[in-house]
Amino acid sequence: MKLGHQKLALSTLLATSLFAFGTAASYANDGEKCDGHYNHKTEFNNHSEHGPFSGRGGPSFAGHDMHNLRKLDLTAEQKDQVKQIFEKQKPLRDEKFQALRDSSKALREANQGATYDSKKVQELANQQAVIQADLIVLHSETKHQIYALLTPEQKQKWDDRARRQGAPKQEHSRG
């Protein structure tokens, strides 16, 4: 029963972190479309991928909430600054997502082996939790940096949208 709760907690943490991380990326999209999908190439990607798990059955990095940034009418300068934020974080983000994929693969292999080593599974689960926590922190930092670029009117739109979606209002220091 304990292992079931751990799996549920890890699954919830992963889903939350991927959803949350996706939120910041899509806020910077300029709204162009490619093949019926929003084109993330113009701001972040190489068009062949719409996210780190694209084509692998997982959510894209850009996520659906990030498309809301285009509703904030970012200036060209703001778009450039958001792009710089993502480019700066890309190596760490890619490293964390690769570590998460590697850890998930190791966990699958541990579950499918001839023998079951609960200590090894616990170790792998703990590794995944740390990686997911790192991704959540990176996402939070990204949102904070983007929020700092916004005008007061854009911040109001951001906060209003978050309230409508049931998310807690972003609290930022006024300094």
Give tens-digit pLDDT for 116-161: 999 999 999 999 999 999 999 999 999 899 999 999 999 998 888 8
Question: CA–CA separation, 155 vs 78, rounded Å?
Answer: 13
Considering the entire predicted model, what is its pTM? 0.59
Question: CA–CA separation, 23 vs 122, rounded Å?
Answer: 30
Q: What percent of the chain has pLDDT over 90?
A: 38
Question: CA–CA separation, 154 vs 128, rounded Å?
Answer: 35
3-state SS, one letter per residue, for 77-99 = HHHHHHHHHHHHHHHHHHHHHHH
Q: Which residue has the higher pLDDT, 12 or 92?
A: 92
